[in-house]
Structure 1
Amino acid sequence: MDWITFSIVLFCLLVSAFFAGSETALTGASRASMLRLSKQGNQDAAIVSSLSAMRERLIGALLLGNNIANIGASALATGIFTAWFGEVGVLYATAVMTVLVVIFAEVLPKTIAINAPDRVALAVARPMRAMMFLLGPLVTVVEAVVRLLLRLFGVAAHHNQPILSPFERLRGAVDLLHHEGKVEKQDRDMLGGLLDLRELQVSDVMVHRTEMVMINADLPAEELVREVLATEFTRIPLWREKPENIIGVLHAKDLLRAIRAADGDTSKIDVSTIMLPPWFVPEMRPVSEQLKAFRRRKTHFALVVDEYGEVEGMVTLEDILEEIVGDISDEHDVVVAGVRAQPDGSVVVDGSVPIRDLNRAMDWHLPDEEATTVAGLVIHEARSIPDRGQSFTFHGFRFRVLRRERNRITALRIVAVPREAEVAEKMPRRAGKAF
């Protein structure tokens, strides 16, 4: 009869290995992959998704089945060894079963499952669903006892508050995949830019009014046409009396059609009849809402105003798309316009370069909560408008002002410094030091 008992012990170890591997696979399987496979018609993936939705009951069934198998195997093995060796057989049974359980019923199946959790989860989905059905009554009793004990100790059940939002967890998953080499930097930046749209406002992506190309609508028709054709843009704001008073937006295609209709005589063109009415949007509008507004109005251009109704800049559909896909590099590896890497490891940056673009280009993490541009960040940290030649060290970088025009910082040199050097130079902050 010993061979029957041995067979039962081996069967219990196999059952324990099944539950151990299933626990690792089902808890480690990608819910996104299972959802994708289930939409493609994979029934096993749908079962895995349904099991994951009953997480508490699943864990209860796994632990219950695993412990029943281990305890049963240990009890039977103890009886055999006691019959063979007497009371000392208990020690022999403990030693043998510890080795068998740890190696073959725990470490080995969990190692297999953790190396391919999705595949193992699909393989054990149907058997595990059947085991949950069989162990359902026992699991219900165990859950009731556990809830009662938690209530006695003042612990709230089902009180799960994740530290990060779903968007932050998705961003963390993308960063992890990039760190593991499974996602390229360009793809990571693109996904990160898409997730950032909900947090950005129009003022973060707009072109400031100091960099806008605008034309006086009162210019003679011939001169106005020359100004329009000399620009590289297709939509040009028109102003009257003062640049802040924008009366319309002229589309280059509409102008070309008007020139053709006038048989090339530009003096006959009246821009007031072909210009489009301006569309003003508030600077605090979320970028995600502005993208929806562009799609709804079927236009690509809007003027940005502050809370007082003054024009602050303009935003285009291309500006928003560039927040997702980033700027396109040319054959000279100019990652972002206005950012020039130097042979000594430093970077020369125009003051108007957005911090987000610089972070994306150089893979840095400069804060952009208090300022939009690099120049704005330096002014914010310095609490003043620095002079040419002054240097400041913060956030792990040294910033040296190369050019200043009136009250604007137009060029800076940035170089990474060790944290020790940053602490040593923090006092005083306005010390003018060369690189």
Structure 2
Amino acid sequence: MDSLLLNALLLVLLIIGSGFFSSSETALTAASKARMMQLANQGYKRAIAVNHLRARMEHVISTILLGNACVNSFIAIVSAQIFARYFGEIGTLYAGIAATAVIFVLGEVLPKTFAINHADRSALTLAPLINVLVRVSYPVTHVTQIICSGLLRLCGVKVVSEPGAEERIEELRGAIALHTHADEETRDAGQMLHSILDLEDVPVSDIMVHRRNMTMIDADQPIEEMVSEALQSPHTRIPLYRGQQDNIIGVLHAKALLRAIQANAWKLDGLNIESLAGKPWFIPDQTDLLTQLEAFRKRREHFAIVVDEYGALMGIVTLEDILEEIVGDIADEHDVKVEGVQTQSDGSFVMDGTVTLRDLNREFGWRLPDEQASTIAGLILHEAQQIPSEGQIFAFHGFRFEILERQRNQLTRIKVIPPFDQVTKIGKVVLGKTQAKTAAAQSSDRPS
């Protein structure tokens, strides 16, 4: 009787040990890396232990599998002894069936289910003991890792201990997408984080103000006209050119102009606008936004002139343009708002050909490719491989594009019909905003 009680007690302890090893494996692999890192930075010792174990995951897995194999083997042995005592030789078969059921339910499914639903708490609780077991079993697991690595190399499998930079970036993108939900606050935050990761892949030519939309001042004009143009412009920095627009000789700052006029007793006679202008800063059109943002910070400048490989003027880019790529449109009281997109009642859109694909994708959640073209007109030209005529209709990437207006070789007005699911989604968003505004108006009209 004493022997039976001892075996039963030993069996219970072995089942608990099996559950311990099974839950440890699940908890350490499922625990949030970000939360563990945050707790470790705050000095939480158990979180530091979890991060230390995850950095040596090969040895941790070997230790857990070794412990689990030993425990499960002893469960089978002890079960066979107990059942053989009462059922004789057939008891070994009964023991195998019972041990399999117990290990499956109590040693695997139950502890793993608990650990995966309480991964962070379980990892923090089990980490210190697992850390001790990893150190004790290191000689065995180290030899095991050497044997396994050798066998994998013989099979032509390369063992990579750490992911590369590209894999880490993709993992970060996935984490952002995973935690970006449907509510507006997290969706906007997710878009900003994705935009930060995309800065290195976007050239300044995709976001610059094109030369035909630039405000420029001819330095050969009379001083009165130059000052009038500067004061009428909504911009504080304006390029100066002489002769041809490609010949930029400086960048005039409105504040410097006003100071000079004040110093001249508010008279324009004798002012030298060219001497007030700062030296222009020219950058290549293929400079990526991340590099340009760092350059703006180092030079402490907000304004650069974009040129192509031949030195011809293409446009301008500012620090605000790059920041808008991250946080969205930044408007102030002096900005001139251009209505580039008009929503139609049938769910289609009428837009200018100069509307950028990145703005459309960000605003409406579309996925129009922007690798080969930066504007909606450029995308149509790239896909059609021709200069379309007014009235022509094209269909690609699930969208329909109708050319409404064309001036010479430029597509100026385009009707875009998105896929049906996109029309429905955008309609729901607009309807939701309308209902919210209506509800707010009704609540404000109620007497207090």
How does the TM-score come out when normalised to structure 2? 0.87
**Alpha-carbon separation, structure 2, partners of 1:182 and 1:219:** 50
- Report if aligned partners of 1:238, 1:246 keep a CA contact under 8 Å in 2: yes
Residue number in structure 2 paired with 1:311: 313
- Whichever residue aligns with residue 287 of structure 1, its letter is L
1:235 corresponds, among 230, 234, 237, to 237
- Whichever residue aligns with residue 353 of structure 2, its letter is G
- Whichever residue aligns with residue 229 of structure 2, its letter is E
Question: 1:60-96, CA deviations, whole angstroms, 9 ceiling, x for partnerless residues?
Answer: 0111111111111121111101111112222322222
Q: Is 1:395 aligned with 2:417? A: no
Secondary structure of the 2:110 match is helix
Task: Please report how far the alpha carbon of residue 16 of structure 1 lies from its aligned counterpart in structure 2 after TM superposition.
Answer: 1.1
Secondary structure of the 1:192 match is helix
Matches within 5 A, 1:56-71: 56-71=58-73
Q: Structure 1 residues 181 and 54, CA, compared in 2 at 3 Å: closer, same or farther?
A: farther
Secondary structure of the 2:250 match is strand
Question: 1:335-354, CA deviations, whole angstroms, 9 ceiling, x for partnerless residues?
Answer: 99523332221122221111
- Report if aligned partners of 1:215, 1:239 keep a CA contact under 8 Å in 2: yes
Q: Is 1:34 aligned with 2:36? A: yes
Task: Please report how far the alpha carbon of residue 19 of structure 1 lies from its aligned counterpart in structure 2 after TM superposition.
Answer: 1.0
Secondary structure of the 1:102 match is helix
- Report if aligned partners of 2:50, 2:123 keep a CA contact under 8 Å in 1: yes
1:379 corresponds, among 358, 378, 381, to 381
- Report if aligned partners of 1:336, 1:361 keep a CA contact under 8 Å in 2: no
Task: Please report how far the alpha carbon of residue 306 of structure 1 lies from its aligned counterpart in structure 2 after TM superposition.
Answer: 0.7
Matches within 5 A, 1:395-434: 395-417=397-419
Deviates more, 1:204-213 or 1:142-151: 142-151
**Alpha-carbon separation, structure 1, partners of 2:182 and 2:81:** 50
Residue number in structure 2 paired with 1:428: none
Q: Structure 1 residues 345 and 182, CA, compared in 2 at 3 Å: closer, same or farther?
A: closer
Residue number in structure 1 paired with 2:134: 132
Task: Please report how far the alpha carbon of residue 150 of structure 1 lies from its aligned counterpart in structure 2 after TM superposition.
Answer: 3.1
Matches within 5 A, 1:33-432: 33-158=35-160, 165-178=167-180, 184-328=186-330, 338-417=340-419
Task: Please report how far the alpha carbon of residue 181 of structure 1 lies from its aligned counterpart in structure 2 after TM superposition.
Answer: 6.6
**Alpha-carbon separation, structure 1, partners of 2:99 and 2:342:** 66
Q: Structure 1 residues 180 and 237, CA, compared in 2 at 3 Å: closer, same or farther?
A: closer
Deviates more, 1:33-42 or 1:134-143: 134-143
- Report if aligned partners of 2:204, 2:285 keep a CA contact under 8 Å in 1: yes
- Whichever residue aligns with residue 273 of structure 1, its letter is S
Residue number in structure 1 paired with 2:435: none
- Whichever residue aligns with residue 237 of structure 1, its letter is P
**Alpha-carbon separation, structure 2, partners of 1:310 and 1:97:** 80
- Report if aligned partners of 2:353, 2:414 keep a CA contact under 8 Å in 1: yes
Q: Which runs of 5+ in 2 are unaligned?
A: 422-448
Task: Please report how far the alpha carbon of residue 164 of structure 1 lies from its aligned counterpart in structure 2 after TM superposition.
Answer: 5.5
- Whichever residue aligns with residue 102 of structure 1, its letter is F
**Alpha-carbon separation, structure 2, partners of 1:246 and 1:140:** 67
Deviates more, 1:341-350 or 1:277-286: 341-350
Q: Structure 1 residues 187 and 336, CA, compared in 2 at 3 Å: closer, same or farther?
A: farther
- Report if aligned partners of 1:25, 1:113 keep a CA contact under 8 Å in 2: yes
- Report if aligned partners of 2:181, 2:187 keep a CA contact under 8 Å in 1: no
- Report if aligned partners of 1:336, 1:358 keep a CA contact under 8 Å in 2: no
- Report if aligned partners of 1:282, 1:304 keep a CA contact under 8 Å in 2: yes
- Report if aligned partners of 1:336, 1:357 keep a CA contact under 8 Å in 2: no
- Report if aligned partners of 1:248, 1:277 keep a CA contact under 8 Å in 2: yes
Residue number in structure 1 paired with 2:427: none
**Alpha-carbon separation, structure 1, partners of 2:373 and 2:151:** 52
Task: Please report how far the alpha carbon of residue 137 of structure 1 lies from its aligned counterpart in structure 2 after TM superposition.
Answer: 2.3
**Alpha-carbon separation, structure 1, partners of 2:154 and 2:246:** 68
- Whichever residue aligns with residue 378 of structure 1, its letter is I
Task: Please report how far the alpha carbon of residue 231 of structure 1 lies from its aligned counterpart in structure 2 after TM superposition.
Answer: 1.1
Q: Structure 1 residues 237 and 163, CA, compared in 2 at 3 Å: closer, same or farther?
A: closer
How does the TM-score come out when normalised to structure 1? 0.90
Secondary structure of the 2:301 match is coil
Residue number in structure 2 paired with 1:426: none
Residue number in structure 1 paired with 2:438: none
Secondary structure of the 2:128 match is helix
Q: How many residues align?
A: 415
Task: Please report how far the alpha carbon of residue 180 of structure 1 lies from its aligned counterpart in structure 2 after TM superposition.
Answer: 7.8
**Alpha-carbon separation, structure 1, partners of 2:154 and 2:257:** 79
